[in-house]
């Protein structure tokens, strides 16, 4: 039987939401092994002078815990 653990994560990027998601997985994979999925809960952006300057994501990473 596999045990799946879920952690909440936040990430940001100046390029876009996809880049923010890639960054979340890349950064999490430095300490979390066996990542299975990233579920995006919320997307937001910071705006300055009528232009998006930062893309932000809140989500959940699920990973399999090996016993």
More confident residue, 66 or 59: 59
Distance between CA 57 and CA 24 in Å, rounded?
9
Which pLDDT score, from 0 to 100, does residue 66 have? 79
Give 1-48 pLDDT, tens digit per residue: 889 999 999 999 999 999 999 999 999 999 999 999 999 999 999 999
Nearest in space to 7 (alpha carbons), one of 45, 20, 27: 27
Q: Taking the model in full, what pTM does it have?
A: 0.87
Owner of token pair 């880049």: 19
Domains and CATH numbers, the chain: 3-61 (3.30.1660.10)
Rounded mean pLDDT of 48-59? Answer: 98
CB atoms within 10 A of CB 57: 22
């Amino acid at each position: 039987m596999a045990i799946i653990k879920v952690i909440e994560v936040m990430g940001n990027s100046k390029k876009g939401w996809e880049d923010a998601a890639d960054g979340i997985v890349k950064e999490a994979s430095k300490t979390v092994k066996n990542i299975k999925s990233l579920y995006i809960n919320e997307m937001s952006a910071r705006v300055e002078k009528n232009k998006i300057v930062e893309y932000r994501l809140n989500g959940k990473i699920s990973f399999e815990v090996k016993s």
